[in-house]
Amino acid sequence: MVDVETHEPGHYTVADLETFPDDGKRYEVVDGTLLVTPAPLPVHQTAVVELAVALRERCPEDQKVFIAPMDYQPTPTRSVQPDLLVCRRQDVGYKKIEKPLLLAVEVLSQSPSLADRILKRHLYEQAGVTSYWIFDPGNEELTVLELDGDMYVERAVVTGKNAFEAELPFPVRIVPADLVI
């Protein structure tokens, strides 16, 4: 078992993830760097569940909706777990998903996360994830990014009771205020 406290920083591998404790924290590896996220708050979990229900109700048969923990490994040196993801049913492997996702969603926790807003945005963009949503439950704000070529463009920022009418990965209506009931 890898000891997170004494392991040399910057030298983590995807294989190390198999040895971490099942302690409620989320462990992710990006190019040798370990990202550790504490167990989420109730407001975070509420938003994830509400989003999952909304997406699952509209999800076509050839696609699948997952909530974390679900291992997404776009490269051999990167293993991340979006709070919620949508992929093609045919892309689901026995233990992980490696093909580009149709949608990755990160729900911000206690404080705005640079990992979600910058690092994961860049990682998902590089991996060809079609759409990336960032939801801030504290501000009831949904930011929607979609690939245009090989770069994300901001398609919408929706707050409160305003609705976002998604077309990607499939038509679905999302109202940010309804995610934090």
User: How far is the C-alpha of 55 from the C-alpha of 171, rounded, in Å?
Assistant: 9
Q: pLDDT digits over 65-102, tens only?
A: 999 889 999 999 999 999 999 999 999 999 999 999 99
For the chain, what is the mean pLDDT?
89
Q: What is the pLDDT of residue 113?
A: 63
User: How far is the C-alpha of 165 from the C-alpha of 117, rounded, in Å?
Assistant: 22
User: How far is the C-alpha of 140 from the C-alpha of 169, rounded, in Å?
Assistant: 21
User: How far is the C-alpha of 50 from the C-alpha of 81, rounded, in Å?
Assistant: 18
Question: Could you tell me the end-to-end alpha-carbon distance of the chain, in angstroms, rounded to an integer?
Answer: 40
Whether the pLDDT of residue 46 is over 60: the answer is yes
**Which domains does the chain carry?**
40-180 (3.90.1570.10)
Torsion of CA 81, 130, 125, 178, to 10 degrees: -60
Helices (H), the chain: 42-58, 114, 120-127
Cβ neighbours around 29 below 10 Å, total: 20
Which of 85, 91, 84, 71 shows the shortest CA–CA distance to 17?
A: 71
Q: What is the pLDDT of residue 28?
A: 83
Which of 15, 9, 73 shows the shortest CA–CA distance to 36?
A: 9
**Contact, 2 vs 13, CB < 8 A?**
no
Q: pLDDT digits over 126-168, tens only?
A: 999 999 999 999 999 999 999 999 999 999 999 999 999 999 9
